[in-house]
Structure 1
Amino acid sequence: MRNPLFVSLSAACAVLAAPCAQAVEIDGRIDPQEWSQAQHIEDFRLTQPLSREAASQPTQAWMMATPEGLAIAFRNQQPAGVPRLRQHTERDGDGTVDRVNLYVDFDGDGRMGYNFTVTLANSITDATITSENQFNNDWDGDWRHATSEDEEGWSAEMLIPWHIAPMRKADGGNRTLGIQLDRVIASTGERTSWPAVHYTQARYLSAFNRVQMPAYGQTLLAITPYVVGVQDAVKHKGDFDGGLDLFWKPSGKFQLSATLNPDFGQVESDELTVNFSATETFFSDKRPFFTENQSFFDVPFGSYSSNSRLIYTRRVGGGRDDGKGSGDVTAALKLNGSAAGFNYGLFAASEGEDIGRDFYAARVTRDFARFGLGAMVTQVDRPFLDRQANVYEFDQRWTPNPQWSIRGAVVASDVEQAGRSFRDSGGQVRIDYDMGKGWRQQLYGLHLGKDLMLNDFGYLERNNFNYLRYDLGRRVTDLPADSAYSSHDWHYAVSRRYSDDGVHIADAVSINRRSDLRNGGREFLEAALWGSGHDDLVTRGNGVLRVPAKLFLTYEGLRPRQGDNPWSLYTEAGYSADGLGGVDEGRLRVYLEPNYQFSDRMLLFAGVEYSHSPDWLLWRQGNRVASFRSDLLSLNAGLQWFIDDKQELRLRLESIGVDARARQAYRVASDGRALAVAEEIPDFRVRNLGFQVRYRYELAPLSYLYVAYVRGGEMFEEGMQHDGVGRQFRDAFDLRDSEQLLVKLSYRFEI
C-alpha cells in the first residue's frame, strides 16, 4: 500500500494559470469544472476494522485551497444493496448514520486539530483534537456544508474558512497542513480513511498526511449580542438580561475573543446526577466564548481519564465562594496567536461584585519536527477566601519515529490563603510503543503531591496520589467472513495505586475487549479485579479505611436498526463490588435505551436504569461511615423533531429516584479497620427531576432563537419511612422547585 506522508498541492497549482483560487459553490453536487484544479484522492483504506485493506465501497475525495477557505468534496459510492442511514441529528449529536469526516491540523505540527463531520442528512458535528486523540465537541465553528444523493451513492462538500482557527505565518506563500479524510458506512460499521490511521491509536493527530497548499488569509470581525428573558412561575418573578461575544481575526496569526456578561448556557441543561462520593462531578461547557479557541489551553493532567485538566472553564461563573448561587461573569478576554516560531495564548476573566474571582492564564508552545515543548501559568484571585492560587506547568512531547510516542508534564502549585502557604508539585509521563502486527504497549506514570492544589481553576479528581499502569493491547482484524464481528481490540493491564503518604490503595488487573460488528453495532466488555487495600478519600481526611478486594464487570452494546426496522437498542450492564462486603456483595446495574425512529427527522428515545446495591458505603461525618442497601430507578427520555433544516423541537425528561436503607454503621480505627458500632444511621431518599421542551430556529449560522419551557427540582429526605424506590421515582414527577419560560435571541454580525 502506498500512502505518501507529504502531498504537494502548490506544485500542481503552479502549472495552472489560476493557482487553486477559483470559487466553489457548496451545494453538495461535485462539478468537475469547479474541482478541476483540486488534489484527487482515491486511496482510502479500511481503518474500522483497522486492516488497511481496500474498502468494500469506493470513496473519492478532492481538496484545494481557495481564497474563501479549505474546500473538500467527497464522492461516496453506495448502491441500493447497501442501506443508507440518513437520520437527522442535532449539532454534535450522536447517531448511527452515514457520514464523512475532515480532520485538519492547520499548522501541521501535531499539536492541535479540528474535526468537521457531515452526515448524509447534512447534519454536522465539529470538535477540537488535542493530545493526539482527545476529542472535545463543545466548540462550534462557522463553516459551510451540503450533501446530495443519487442512485449510485451520495456526495458532500465542505468549505472551512481560513478565519476558523489561529494559524502560524505561512512560509514562502505556502502552508503545510496535516489532513485526514474518512468515511463511515453506518449499516456495516466500515470506516475508510486517508491516510489509514485510526483515532484510537496512540499516534493519531501527528500521523496525518502533510499537505502543502497555497496560503490565503482572511480577516473577520464578528459580534454576537444576545438577549434572554426568563419568567419563573414558582418564584413569581421575571428576569431580563443581555450580553455579547466578540471575535476578531485581523490576520492569520492573531485572534481575539471577548465577552461581556456571557450567557451561562440557560438553554443547555446538565445531566442529572446522584453523587455522594468524595470526587466532584465533571460537566462540559457550552458557552460560546469559553469554547472558542479553548483547545490551546486544554492541558490534560492528573488522571488516566480525559476529564482532569489544568483549566476547567466551568470554574468561571461557577459556585460563589460565599455559597450563595453562581458567580456573575462581568467580562472575559482571550488572545491566541503566533510569533517568532512560538504559539501563545492569554486568558482573563473577572466575576462581578466584591467577592468575585479573577482568573488568568498564559500559555506558550514551540514545536519542531519530532519534538514539542509547552508551558502554562494560571492564577486565580479569591478575595472572599483571602486566597491566591498560582499553578506552573511544563509539558513536552517526543515522537522520534512512527513506533514511539512519549508525552510528559510537570506541574507545581503555590497557594497563599490567610497568611498560610501551600506548595507542592506533580508529574506524569505516557510512553506508547507500537510493536506492529496489531500489538502495542503503553506505560503511564503519575505523581500528585499531597499539597498539590489545581482545583481553583482546573479539575483534578484527587491529589496525594501515585499511579503506575502498564497496558498491552492487541487489535484483531482477520476474523472469519461469517463472524458477526469485524474486529476486536483487546487490552490487558496491571496497575498500582498508593498515596504520597505511603498508603497502599490498591493493585489491580484488568482485561477488556472493544469490538465492531458487521451490522454497524459495537460492543465493550471489561473485567477488573482490585486487590485489598485502603480508601483514603471516603472519610474526607478523618482516617484511612481498610477495604477488601473489589470486582468490576462491565458490558456495553449497541444494536443498530437494520433495514426498515425503526428500532435500535443501547445496553449497559455492570457489577461493582467496591464496598466492605467484598466481591460477593456488589451493585448490579442495568441500563436499557431503546430508540424508535418515526422518520429521518423524528426520533424517540427512552433510557431506563435500575440498580441495586446491598453494600453502598457512604461517609457519615467525622470518622464514621455506613453501609446502605439501596435501589435506584431513573429515566432519561426524549423526542427530537427536525421540522425542517432551520427548525428543531426537542423534549427531554430526566427523573431519578433513590431509596437507601441503613445496614450498619462503622467507625474507622487508627489502624484502618472498620469497627461496627451500634449507632443509629437514618435511611434516606433522593428524588430529582429535569424536564425541558425547547424550540430552536436558526436565523443564520451561529444565530438562533430559542423558546424553552423548563421545570425541575430535587429532594433529599432522611427518616425511617420505607416507601421503596418506585415511590421515590413516581414522586419525583411532582417536584417543582422551578418552572421557567425562557426566550433567548442571539445573532452573529460579521463585519
Structure 2
Amino acid sequence: MRIHLLPSLLAAAAACAVPAACAVEIDGRIDPEEWRGARRIDEFRLTQPLSRQPASQATEAWLLATPEGLAIGFRNHQPAGVPRLRQRTQRDGNGTVDRVNLYVDFDGDGRAGYNFTVTLANSIVDATITSENQFNDDWDGDWRHATSEDADGWSAEMLIPWHIAPMREAGDGTRTLGIQLDRVIASTGERTSWPAVHYNEARFLSTFNRVEVPAYKQSLLAITPYVVGVRDFVGHDSDFDAGADLFWKPSGKFQLSATLNPDFGQVESDELTVNFSATETFFSDKRPFFTENQSFFDVQFGSYNSNSRLIYTRRVGARADDGNGSGDVTAAIKLNGSAGGFNYGLFAASEGDEAGRDFYALRATRDFERFGFGAMATRVVRPFQDRSANVYEFDQRWNPNAQWAIRSALVASDVEHNGRSARDSGGQIRIDYDMGGGWRQQLYGLHLGKRLQLNDFGYLERNNFNYLRYDLGRRVTDLPAASSYASHDWHYAASRRYSDDGVHIADAIAVNRRSELRDGGNEFVELGLWSAGHDDLITRGNGVLRLPERLYVSYERLRPRRGDSPWSLSAELNYSAEGLGGIDEGQSRIYLEPNYQVSDRLLLFAGMEYSHNPDWLLWRGGNRLGAFRSDALNLNAGLQWFIDDKQELRVRLEAIGMDARLKQAYRVDPKGRPLAVEEEIPDFSLSNLGFQIRYRYELAPLSYLYLAYVRGGELFEEGPRSTRVGREFSDAFELRDDEQFLVKLSYRFEI
C-alpha cells in the first residue's frame, strides 16, 4: 500500500503562522492541535493470533513528518477490565508488558529497517532489522519518547530524528518510507498491526506500507568521550583508560563513525557458558561504534539460524594473535552513504600492537521495486601469523509477487597463510512460498566448501558442509473461544546433511508447534529424529565418528503475571539423545525461572537449571573419545531496580557446577567405528562464577555514569572424584580469580 501524506502536510504548514507553534511536543499526550495535518491510522488488525480480524481493543495512531523528525502518536484504548502491565524494564530488556512498536524502513526498499518500542512504563527497546525479520538489539539510538495514562487507556509519542539512520538521496523533494505499526496487550497476548503482517512471517520488512513524506534533512555531529577507572583487588593494581567515539551525519546520504581506543563495554558482561564442542560460542556486541550503522554490513551467511555472518565485530579486539590478552584497537572508522542509486559502506579498524590485525570491509547495494542485489569484500591482515584473508560476497533478493520470496548469496574466500594459498566458495538459497489459507512452504539449501574460511572476520559455525531443508508450515487461528490457546503455528520439516567429502552426517525429520495462549503467554513443543550418521567435527580432524539414531524432545512455557499476582514463570524441559548409547541414553534438562514483581520498578528473578547426561561424548585428544556420566547445576539470579527515571541498580549472579565421571573410553578406527578401549581418561569437574552489582545514572541521552563491582572465577579439576555436583556448585561461590571495582563516565556532546 502506498500512502501520500504530502497534501495534508502542506495544508498543515500553511495553517501555521509560526512554524514552531506547530511542533509536536513529545510528552505522551495526544494534543489534537499538535497533530493537525497528520495521517490518522485506525485500520489495525490482529496479527497475534494472526487472524487479521478486528482487535478486541481499539488502537489509533498518527503519523507526521516534521523538520525535527518522524513523529508517531498512539492512542491505546484499554478499559479497567483489561489489566495493564506497566513494569519497568531495562533498555532492550525482555518483559511481558503493554507496548507499542514503530518499524521504519527509511529507504522503503525492504533491505534494512529499525524497530522502536515504547512500553506503558516508558521503557524502550531499539533494534535493527535485516533479512526480512532478523532483529538485533545491540544498537542504541538517540530518539525521544513519552507515555501518559488515564482511565480509558494510555498514549505514547515518539520522535525519530532524520539523522538516526543513513538514507538514500531523495528525489523531487519527497522520500518514500516503509512503515509498520503495532500494539501489544500483554495480559491477553494480542498484537494488532498496520499493515496486518507479523515478524515471524517469511516476508515482513518488504511488506511495510509505503508512505511518502517531505524529504527533510538533518545534520548531527556527536562526540562521546569516555573515561574508565578500574581497581583490581586480586592483582592489587589500578588502571585508567580513555577514548572517544565520533558520529558525523551531515545528511542522510552520508554518515561517518569513528573511534579512538574504543569503549569495550566493560560494564556489559557476557553470560557464562560451558562449551566443550568443536564450534565456538557466539557473543553479541554492545560497543557503540560497532553497533552504529552496522546493519548495512550484516550479511548473514552459513547456517539456518541468524548467528553466522560475514562480519562478526567481536573479532575486532578479540584474543590477540600471540595469545597474550586481547587485541588493542587503536582506531576504527565507518562510512555509510548513497550515490547514483547505490548504497555503500566502508569499514576499517586497526589493532596497533605487534600482534595486531587490520580489518577492512566494503559493501554496496542497489534496490529496485521487486529486486535487489548487493556485494561485499572484506580483508584481514594478520602479520604475526603471516596470514591475510580476503572474502568476496554477492547476494540478491527477489519478490516476484506477494506469494514468493527468494534470497540467495554466493561467497568465496582467498587465504594466504605462511606462503600457502587456500581458495574455496559457498552459497545459500532460501525460497519461501505463501500458499494461502495459513499454509506456507520453505526450501533452504546451503553449500560450504571444504577450504572455505570466513572466521578471520566473520562467524561461521563450520565449513565442508551441505544442507538441504524443506519446511511445511500451517498457522491455525480459528480456535474456539473457550480454548486456552489463541493460535498454533505448526511446522513439519525434513532435512539432509552431508560433507563435501561425501560423508553422510544425518537425515532428520522434525515437527514443532509454537502456540500463543489467551493468558498472554506462549508455548513451544518440538520433536526431532535424526537418522544414523556421522560426526566429522568431534575429533578435530582425527577421523569421522559413526553415530546411531538421535532423538530430541523439547517443551517451553512462559506463564506471565495474572491479575494481582506478582509471580511469573518460565519453564523448559528437554531430552536430547546424541551420544553412542542411542535413544535410551539421552540428556535430561529442566530449567525453571520464577520472577517476582515487587513493584512496577523492582523485579527479582532466579533461574535454576539441572541437567543429567548418562552418555556425554567428549573429545580427549587425537582419535580418542570419552563417554561421561555428567550432572550440572546452573543458577542465574538477581534483581533490577529502577530507582527513578534516571537511576538503575542491577544485581546479577551466575554460578555453574559440573561433575563428569568416565563411563568408557573409545578410539575411532579408520572406518569411523568407536572401539571401546581400556585407557585412562580422568574424571573432571568445573565450577564457574560471575557476579556483578551495577549502578547506572543517565546524565543525558546516551550519556551515563556507571559504578560496578565485579567478581568471578573458574575452576577446572581432573582426577578421581569424591564429591558430587552439589559440591562443585557450592564451591563456585568461593571463587575469586577476578575482583574489580569500576567507574565509567561517558558523555555525548552534540554540536
Q: Give the TM-score, by structure 1 length.
A: 0.99
Task: Give the letter aligned to residue 735 of structure 2.
Answer: L
Map 1:258-297; keep pairs closer than 5 Å.
258-297=258-297
Q: Which residue of 2 aligns with 1:605?
A: 605
Q: 2:625 maps to what in 1? A: 625
1:13/1:19 contact within 8 Å kept:
no
Deviations along 1:566-608, one digit per CA (max 9) or x if unpaired, are 0000001100000000000000000000000000000000000
1:564 is aligned to 564
Matched to 1:74, the amino acid is F
Offset, 1:19: 8.1
Post-superposition shift, 1:23?
Answer: 1.0
Aligned-residue offset at 1:15: 3.8
Aligned to 1:249: 249
Distance 1:17 1:639, change over 3 A: closer
Letter of the structure 2 residue corresponding to residue 353 of structure 1? D
Aligned-pair distance for 1:636?
0.2
Aligned residue in 1 for 2:43 = 43
Structure 1 counterpart of 2:6, one-letter code = S
Residue 683 (str. 1) matches residue 683 (str. 2): yes
Q: Does 1:6 align with 2:2?
A: yes
**Structure 2 residue 731 is matched with structure 1 residue 731:** yes
Q: Specify whether residues 466 and 19 from structure 1 end up closer, same or farther in structure 2 by C-alpha distance, changes over 3 A only.
A: farther
Deviation at 1:246, TM superposition (A): 0.2
Tell me how far apart the structure 2 counterparts of residues 413 and 260 of structure 1 sit (CA, whole Å). 30
Contact 1:38 1:62 in 2 (8 A): yes
Work out whether 1:100 is the aligned partner of 2:100: yes
**2:733 aligned counterpart, secondary structure:** helix
Deviations 1:104-144 (A, max 9, x none): 00000000000000000000000000000000000000000
Q: Distance in 2 between matches of 1:152 and 1:216?
A: 36
- SS of match in other structure, 2:217: coil
Following superposition, the deviation at residue 215 of structure 1 comes to 1.2
Structure-2 residue corresponding to 1:132: 132
C-alpha contact (below 8 Å) 1:428/1:444 kept by paired residues? yes
CA RMSD between the two structures:
0.7
Paired AA for residue 531 in structure 1: S
1:707 aligns with 2:678: no
Q: Name the structure 2 match of 1:168.
A: 168
C-alpha deviation, 1:660, in angstroms? 0.1
**What is the letter of the counterpart of residue 223 of structure 2?**
I
Please give the alpha-carbon distance, in whole angstroms, between the structure 2 residues aligned to 1:615 and 1:17: 72
2:4 aligned partner, one-letter code? S
Q: SS of 2:583's equivalent? A: helix
Partner SS state of residue 151, structure 2: coil
Structure 2 equivalent of residue 594 of structure 1: 594
Contact 2:72 2:158 in 1 (8 A): yes
Q: Partner residue of 2:660?
A: 660
Where 2:345 maps in the other structure, the secondary structure is: strand
Shift of 1:16: 4.2
Aligned counterparts of 1:597 and 1:16: Cα–Cα separation in 2: 45
AA aligned to 2:493 is A
CA drift at 1:241: 0.3
* Matching residue of 1:461: 461
Amino acid paired to 2:740: Q
Alignment of 1:293-308 (within 5 A): 293-308=293-308
Matching residue of 1:483: 483
- Partners of 1:280 and 1:83 in 2: CA distance: 44
Structure 1 residue 11: deviation in Å? 2.6
Counterpart-to-counterpart distance in 1, 2:349 and 2:15? 44
* 1:170 Cα offset (Å): 1.1
Where structure 2 has 5 or more consecutive residues not aligned to the other structure, the ranges are none
Please tell me the residue identity of whatever aligns with 2:174. Answer: N
Show CA shifts across 1:286-337 (max 9, x none).
0000000000000000000100000000000001111111111100000000
Q: Does 1:232 align with 2:228?
A: no
For residue 216 of structure 1, report the CA deviation from its aligned partner: 0.5
**Where do residues 121-520 of structure 1 align in structure 2 (5 Å cutoff)?**
121-520=121-520
Could you say what secondary structure the match of 2:198 adopts? coil
SS at 1:18's partner residue? Answer: helix
Shift of 1:14: 3.3
Counterpart of 1:529 in 2: which secondary structure?
A: strand
Alpha-carbon separation, structure 1, partners of 2:556 and 2:267: 30
Amino acid aligned to 1:750: E
CA contact (8 A) 1:429 1:444 kept: yes
Q: 1: CA distance between counterparts of 2:263 and 2:620? A: 38
Q: 2:12 and 2:288 mapped to 1: Cα distance? A: 41
Distance in 2 (alpha carbons) for counterparts of 1:16 and 1:277 = 62
Any conservation in 2 of the 1:575–1:587 contact (CA below 8 Å)? yes
CA drift at 1:618: 0.1
Q: CA shift at 1:185, angstroms?
A: 0.0
Give the deviation of 1:176 after TM superposition: 0.4
2:121 is aligned with what amino acid? A
The secondary structure found in structure 1 opposite 2:265 is coil
Identity rate of aligned residues, in percent?
79
Residue type of the alignment partner of 1:90:
Q
Q: Equivalents in 1 of 2:721, 2:127: separation in Å?
A: 48
Residue 696, structure 1, aligned to residue 692, structure 2:
no
| SS of equivalent residue, structure 1 residue 128 | strand
Match of 2:749 in 1: 749
Number of residue-to-residue matches in the alignment? 747
Give 2:275's aligned amino acid. N
Secondary structure of 2:93's match?
coil
Q: SS of the counterpart of 1:730?
A: helix
Q: SS of the residue aligned with 1:12?
A: helix
- The aligned runs of 1:33-72 (5 Å cut-off) are 33-72=33-72
Question: How far apart are 1:680 and its partner, in Å?
Answer: 1.0
Counterpart residue type for residue 142 of structure 2 = D
- Where in structure 1 are there 5+ consecutive unaligned residues? none
Query: Cα–Cα, structure 1 residues 17 and 95, in superposed 2: closer, same or farther, change >3 Å?
Result: closer
1:624-643 residue pairs with structure 2 within 5 A? 624-643=624-643
- In the aligned structure 2, how far is the partner of 1:260 from the partner of 1:521? 45
3-state SS of paired residue (2:9): helix
Give the aligned partner of residue 74 of structure 1.
Answer: 74
Q: CA offset at residue 263 of structure 1?
A: 1.2
Does the 8 Å CA contact 2:492/2:511 hold for their aligned counterparts?
yes
* Residue 18 of structure 1 pairs with residue 18 of structure 2: no
Shift of 1:17: 4.5
Q: 2:109 maps to what in 1?
A: 109
Q: Which amino acid is the alignment partner of residue 660 of structure 2? A: A
Are 1:486 and 1:518, in contact at CA under 8 Å, matched by a contact in 2?
yes
Tell me the amino acid that sits aligned with residue 11 of structure 1: P
- 1:739 maps to a residue whose letter is E
SS at match of 2:286: coil
Q: 2-side partners of 1:330 and 1:134: how far apart?
A: 31
Task: Report deviation, 1:13.
Answer: 2.3
Q: Return the letter of the residue paired with 2:164.
A: I
CA distance in 2, matches of 1:539, 1:19: 74
Distance across 2 between alignment mates of 1:130 and 1:316? 22
Whole-angstrom distance in 2 between the partners of 1:238 and 1:687: 27
* C-alpha spacing 1:408/1:19, structure 2 compared with 1 (3 Å): farther
C-alpha contact (below 8 Å) 2:661/2:721 kept by paired residues: no
Structure 2 distance, partners of 1:284, 1:204, is: 23
User: 1:171 Cα deviation (Å)?
Assistant: 1.3
Cα contact 2:11–2:37 (8 A) shared by 1: no
Q: TM-score, normalised by structure 2?
A: 0.99
> 1:594 is matched by which residue type in structure 2?
P
Could you give the per-residue CA deviations for residues 358-394 of structure 1, whole angstroms, max 9, x where no partner exists? 0000000000000000000000001110000000000
Given that 2:682 and 2:720 are in contact with CA atoms closer than 8 Å, whether structure 1 keeps it comes out as: yes
